[in-house]
Amino acid sequence: MPQPAAALARWLQLRTWTFPAALFPGFLALALGLQILGGAYRCEFGGHPDEAGHYVTGLLIRDFIARAKPGNPMSYAKTYYVHYPKVALGNWPPGFYVVQAAWTLPFGAGRTQVLVLMALVGAVLASVIAGVAAARVPRPLAAACGTVFLLLPLVQSHVAMVMTEPTIALLALVATLFWARYLTDGRPADSLVFGVVAAACILTKGTGFLLAGVPVLSLLAARRWDLLKRVSFWLAAVVVVLLAGPWTLLTFNLAKEGWLEGGPSLAFTLRAIPYYAGKLHLAMGSPLTALLLLGLALALAKAWREGRKAGLEAALAALVLSVLLLHILVPCGHEPRHLIPALAGGCILAALGAQEIWTRLGNTRLGRRGEAAVLALLLAVVFGFETLAIPQKGYAGFQAVAERILADPKENGTGLFVSSDARGEGMFIAEIAMREKRPGHIVHRASKLLASSSWSGGDYAAKATDAAELAQVFAEAKVGLIAVDTTVPAERLAKMPHHSLLLEVAAANPLLFEPLAVFPMQRAGQTDPNGIRLYRFHSPGTGGDGAGRPEGR
Are the C-beta atoms of residues 457 and 84 closer than 8 Å to each other?
Answer: no
CA dist 474 and 477 (Å) reads 5
Q: With cut-offs at 50, 70 and 90, classify the pLDDT of residue 544.
A: very low
Among residues of the chain, what percentage have pLDDT more than 70? 90
Q: Higher confidence at residue 83 or residue 267?
A: 83
Q: Per-residue pLDDT for 86 more than 80?
A: yes
Q: Are 200 and 241 in contact (CB under 8 A)?
A: no
Q: State mean pLDDT over 111-137.
A: 96
Nearest to 63 by CA among 441, 433, 428: 433
Contact by Cβ (8 Å): 501, 377: no
3-state helix, strand, coil in the chain (%, to 5): 65, 10, 25
| Residue 161: φ, ψ to 5° | -125, 160
Judge whether 154 and 361 are in contact, CB under 8 Å: no
User: 424 with 453: CB under 8 angstroms?
Assistant: no
125-129, 135-139, 284-288: which is most confident: 125-129
Considering the chain, what percentage of its residues have pLDDT values greater than 90? 73
Question: What is residue 11's predicted lDDT score, i.e. its pLDDT?
Answer: 55
Length in residues, the chain: 553
- 200 pLDDT higher than 70: yes
* CA distance linking residue 255 with residue 264, whole number of Å: 15
User: Distance between CA atoms of 172 and 211, rounded to whole angstroms?
Assistant: 7
Residue 119's SS3 state is helix
Rounded average pLDDT over 258-266: 77
Encode 493-502: b = buried (16+ Cβ within 10 Å), e = exposed. Answer: eeebebbebb
3-state secondary structure of 361: coil
User: Does 141 score more than 70 pLDDT?
Assistant: yes
pLDDT in tens, 420-440: 999 999 999 999 999 999 999
SS (H, E, C) 226-253: HHHHCHHHHHHHHHHHHHHHHHHHHHHH
CB 204 within 8 A of CB 171: yes
Tell me how far the alpha carbon of residue 173 is from its chain's centroid: 16
Angle between helices 340-360 and 266-284 (to 10 degrees): 60
C-alpha span between 547 and 533 (Å, rounded): 22
Vertex 73 angle, CA 68 and 75, to 5°: 120
**How far is it, in rounded angstroms, from Cα 208 to Cα 168?**
7
